[in-house]
Chains A and B, each alone.
Chain A
Amino acid sequence: MTQQVPLLNLTGITKAFPGCVANDDIDLIIQPGEIHALLGENGAGKSTLVKIIYGILKADKGTIEWNGEQVSIDNPSIARQLGIAMVFQHFSLFDALTVVENIALGMENSVDLTELEKRILEISTNYGLPLDPKRHVYTLSVGERQRIEIIRCLLQSPRLLVMDEPTSVLTPQEVEKLFATLRRLSTEGVSILYISHKLDEIRVLCQTATILRLGKRVSDADPRKETARSLAAMMMGKELQSPARPPKVTHVDKARLEVKDLSLEAIDDFGVDLKNVALHVNAGEILGIAGVAGNGQNELLDALSGERSCDSSNSITMDGNPCATLAPDARRRLGFGCVPEERLGHGAVPDMSLAENTYLTAYAQMNLTNNGMIQTAARDEFSDRIIREYRVKCTDRQASAASLSGGNLQKFIVGREILQNPGVLVVSQPTWGVDAGAAAAIQEALIALAENGSAVLVISQDLDELMQISNRICAICAGVVSESIPTEQATVEQIGLLMGGATNQASVL
């Protein structure tokens, strides 16, 4: 192959924030038409680097060459003019606007909306990304929302497409479709910069990988020639612990959490109604509930945690106690623990200290109140125990919850719930946005809790994770929970179909 001019050539990119150097002297070369992976743990500086490429942030030092010419990308508009398009990790969409309005906002020039609608339909049929331009974004599933972002990018005929964790919200089937689209773009000469935690995906999709650790570029690799383990080792700088496995079920079939015929109407049109949910979790096992976001997971968690009370008091029983009509703190007294998906604002009060956040869920179980007075010594001791045992990186227990990184806060919240020794623990998205090291620690903790005789229910979009740690798996789709399948008999394809709404198991098995 002849030596060609790289499409994008970054040299010596450095960007410092108060208190940390996010990018330290990073070089990156992207050739035309290649699919290039950017790998690294949380906080390795991936997002900062792509924000610099897209002009949202400005580098302190370093040069950017585009097609061999030095350029200065001061804002996203310049990036788009060069031919750089970006699909964000957290979608930059406007819920109250329609698809076509959203796409128009991402275009450089004023466009006629009816004309644009035609072009959207053209691209969506051309690339197999079905999308109705007239619908409002809030009515769309996460997968459909991502299609908006991708179509928005494709309309600009980009030379470089940047994708930040695009598959974390998709079913396995949707991931396949996305990869087909990306491969096709690559053959058409579009370069793709692909950021993901999912090493297996990178191995099948990407031709080159640049690995970042703590803001520095540590190495380049050909992901097709590496294993997921070797890539992880490069990311972390050490060997990954042995992969998680389901807890060994030693306890007899004794259901600690039983849900029968649970129906719950959504609060508004943006939620999903739960329809006749039935499930049980035995002592000593982990039940996984797979599903694409927005299929009733939040409603299920609200119903189980007691944030919304349900009609019939017999539809949820915990260790034989009917508790469907009990409030959250009454359920906690029965030995119930809960880790919601949203960490800041739901799992923890952002501006309160870790010690105060500890008190808020643990006061009953850990006897932290005496005659209405907070037992500060006991509270602080318990907080310190969480921080110590779960290796939460923070200044001390007085640090505000909002000051912790996502992964550290998650370790803290999971630790806080597990150390209260709950009989039943419900966890939603335990390792979402958490790096591999912290994720492994959280998974280990969940398994250890189950092996001690608790019942653990894990709601997750990450199917690989569920396949690793749960004893049984079921899927939730449009508020309906499927029957469970023992993990050793389940395949990713089966669960994927259940997640997509295949109603009965027979059609899947």
Chain B
Amino acid sequence: MTLDFIVLALLTIITAATPLVFAAMGELITEKSGVLNLGVEGMMLTGAVTGFASVFFFESAIVACIAAMLAGTLTALLFAFLVLTLQASQVATGLALTIFGVGLSALLGQNMVGIAYEGLPTLSIPYLTELPIVGKLLFGQDFLVYLSLALPFLVAWFLYRTRAGLILRAVGDSHDAAHAIGYPVIRIRYCATLFGGAMAGLAGAYLSLVYSPMWVENMTAGRGWIALALVVFATWRPWRLFLGAYLFGGITILQLHAQAVGINIASQFMSMLPYIITIVVLVLISRDRNKIKLNAPACIGKPFHPAA
């Protein structure tokens, strides 16, 4: 009985953490290039509604995920054009992008409220998936979960082992120096921002296809903002980010179970817990100024004027 409960809790924790892993890893790459995109929430919502609509239209989960990534990429492209080409303020544009995403997704999703979807197909390997306890946990997830587990490896490898990752970090650290050496700062930032958009779109699709397979207005419920906070408090390091996402997912689920058991604490307070605890823990483990200096992209949010 308790074992079943633990397995069930772990399964739900994974679903709660996965969208954060996607959105935050995307934002990590964006910010490492020196661009601060506060529109994660808006890009997630756009991705969520697009993914949900596409799964009925194309009747393919994979196509729906790709469509959601494209939708996220397109909103990020709008953002990138405004802040990189036209050099608008990144903070103001990012906030506007969130509000835009909320409105656009509500408009597109008008006719889809109340429709349910059966959820993404999960992996099913004969015998392995039927194993007690670990079977469902390790071999019975949908493909997005496996992708999200691979993501920290991929991002860490890209940032710290490849030349492209080195150039990306360099652009975020000093765009003037990168320009002087001859790297195309704006083009690199476009790529990083678009990747962030694609990941946010995928995170949105995960919410509307797996986490609660339906469309509800504003269904991200602030996860885009948590993803942004995770990036900062994880001091721009992929593995800390991954842990932070799972910490948040874990507490989200535990407080739900606690509420279900009937612990006598105001439910509003319980709903606050994951946000507060995640931020407090990450603040506590990232107080080292040197580590921050070493990992924080020094040029974040600063517009780049190439002419000078």
B174, CB-defined interface residue at 8 Å: yes
Residue contact B166 to A101, C-beta cutoff 8 Å: yes
Tell me if A104 counts as interface (CB < 8 A to partner B). yes
B284 close to A (CB within 8 Å): no
Contact of A94 with B180 at beta-carbon distance under 8 Å, contacts A104-B163, A268-B290, A268-B293 already known: no
Report A185-223 CB contacts with B as 1/0, cut-off 8 Å: 000000000000000000000000000000000000000
Q: Is the CB of B166 within 8 A of A96?
A: no
Stretch among A24-32, A85-93, A119-127, A291-299 lining the B interface: A85-93
Q: Are B163 and A110 in contact (CB under 8 A)?
A: yes
The verdict on A77 contacting chain B, using a C-beta distance below 8 Å, is: yes
Give Cα A92 to B294, complex, Å. Answer: 17
Is B170 located at the chain interface by the 8 A CB criterion?
Answer: yes
12 further A-B contacts with Cβ under 8 Å, apart from A76-B182, A88-B180, A94-B170, are A56-B182, A76-B180, A76-B181, A92-B180, A92-B181, A94-B169, A94-B177, A96-B297, A97-B169, A101-B170, A138-B294, A268-B289
CB pair B289–A105 under 8 Å, yes or no, is no
- Which B-chain residue is minimally distant from A139 (CB atoms)? B290
Q: A104 to B181: give the CA distance in the assembly, Å.
A: 11
Do the beta carbons of B289 and A97 come within 8 Å of each other? no
Q: Does B247 contact A (CB under 8 A)?
A: no
Residue of A nearest to B288 (CB): A269
* Interface size, B (range): 20 to 34
Q: Report the minimum CB–CB distance from A78 to chain B (whole Å).
A: 9
Residues of B286-308 whose CB lies within 8 A of A? 289-290, 293-298
* A75 CA to B181 CA, complexed, in Å: 9
Contact indicator B163/A96 (Cβ below 8 Å): no
Q: Is A306 an interface residue (CB 8 A)?
A: no
Given contacts A91-B177, A104-B166, is CB(A96)–CB(B182) below 8 Å?
Answer: no
Q: Which residues of chain B are within 8 angstroms of A97 by Cβ–Cβ distance?
A: 166, 169-170, 173
- Tell whether B217 is near chain A: CB-to-CB under 8 Å: no
Per-residue contact bits, chain A 266-310, to B (CB 8 Å; 1 contact, 0 not)? 001110000000000000000000000000000000000000000
CB of A95 within 8 A of chain B?
A: yes
Question: In this assembly, does A55 line the interface, its C-beta being within 8 Å of a C-beta of chain B?
Answer: yes
Which A-chain residue is minimally distant from B171 (CB atoms)? A94
Number of A-B contacts (CB under 8 A): 65
Q: Chain B contacts of A269 at CB under 8 A?
A: 289-290, 293
Q: Does B243 contact A (CB under 8 A)?
A: no
Q: Shortest beta-carbon distance, A101 to chain B, in Å? A: 6
| A95 smallest CB distance to B (angstroms) | 6
Minimal beta-carbon separation of A433 from chain B (angstroms): 15
Residues in A58-88 with C-beta less than 8 Å from chain B:
75-77, 80, 88
Interface residues of B (CB under 8 A from A): 163, 166-167, 169-170, 173-174, 176-183, 289-290, 293-298
Which residues does chain A contribute within 8 Å of B163, judged by CB atoms?
104, 110
* Chain B interface helix/strand/loop/mixed: helix
Partner of A96 from B178, B179, B295 at Cβ < 8 Å: B295
Q: A224 an interface residue at 8 Å Cβ cutoff?
A: no
Enumerate 14 A-B pairs (CB-CB under 8 Å) in ascending A order.
A56-B179, A56-B182, A76-B182, A90-B176, A92-B176, A94-B174, A94-B177, A95-B174, A96-B294, A96-B298, A97-B166, A97-B173, A101-B170, A110-B163
CA distance A393 to B110 in the complex (A): 63
Report how far A90 CA is from B179 CA in the complex, Å. Answer: 13
B173 touches A95 (CB 8 A): yes
* Contact (Cβ within 8 A) A94 B173: yes
Interface residues, chain A, with chain B CB atoms under 8 Å away: 55-56, 75-77, 80, 88, 90-97, 101, 104-106, 110, 136, 138, 268-270
A106's closest neighbor in chain B, by CB?
B181
Q: Which residues of chain A have C-beta atoms less than 8 A from B183's C-beta?
A: 105
Alpha-carbon separation in the docked complex, A55 to B181 (Å): 10
Give bound CA distance, A88 to B181, whole Å.
10
Q: Closest A residue to B183 by CB, please name it.
A: A105
Give the docked Cα–Cα distance between A502 and B191 (Å).
51
A270:B293 contact, CB within 8 angstroms: yes
* Distance in angstroms between the alpha carbons of A138 and B166 in the assembled complex: 17
Chain A residue at minimum C-beta to C-beta distance from B184 = A75
A268 to B296, CA, bound (A): 15
Bound form: Cα–Cα A105–B176 in Å: 13
Contact B177 A92 (CB under 8 A): yes
Which of chain A's residues have a CB closer than 8 A to the CB of B290?
268-269
Residues of A within 8 A of B173 (CB): 94-97
Check A93 against B177 for contact (C-beta < 8 Å). Answer: yes
- The minimal Cβ–Cβ distance linking A309 to chain B, given in whole angstroms, is 21
Bound CA–CA A101/B182 (angstroms): 16
Q: Which of chain A's residues have a CB closer than 8 A to the CB of B296? A: 96
CB of B304 to closest CB in A, whole Å: 14
A77 vs B181: C-alpha distance in the bound complex, in angstroms?
Answer: 8
Inter-chain contact B174/A92, CB cutoff 8 Å: yes
Pair A105/B181 contact, Cβ less than 8 Å: yes
The answer to whether residues A96 and B169 also contact, given A76-B181, A268-B293, A270-B293 and a CB cut-off of 8 A, is: yes
Q: Is B182 within 8 A of A77, CB to CB? A: yes
Chain B nearest CB from A158 CB (Å) reads 14
A101 to B178, CA, bound (A): 13
In the bound complex, CA of A95 to CA of B298 (Å):
9
Complex Cα distance, B177 from A93, in Å, reads 6
The reply to whether A75 and B174 form a contact with Cβ atoms under 8 Å apart is no
For B170, give its contact among A56, A76, A90, A105 (CB under 8 Å): A105
Cα distance A190–B294 in the bound complex, in angstroms: 36
Nearest CB of chain A from residue B300's CB, rounded to whole Å: 12
- The 8 nearest A-B residue pairs measured at CB: A76-B182, A92-B177, A92-B180, A94-B173, A110-B163, A96-B173, A77-B182, A268-B289
Name the residue among A94, A104, A269 with the largest chain B CB count within 10 angstroms.
A94
Give Cα distance in the complex from A88 to B182, angstroms: 13
Residues of chain B within 8 A of A92, CB atoms compared: 174, 176-178, 180-181
Residue among B166, B169, B182, B298 facing the most chain A CB atoms (10 A cut-off): B182
Query: How many whole Å from B130's CB to the nearest CB in chain A?
Result: 47
Q: How far is the CA of A106 from the CA of B163 in the complex (A)?
A: 11
**CB atoms of A55 and B166 under 8 A apart:** no
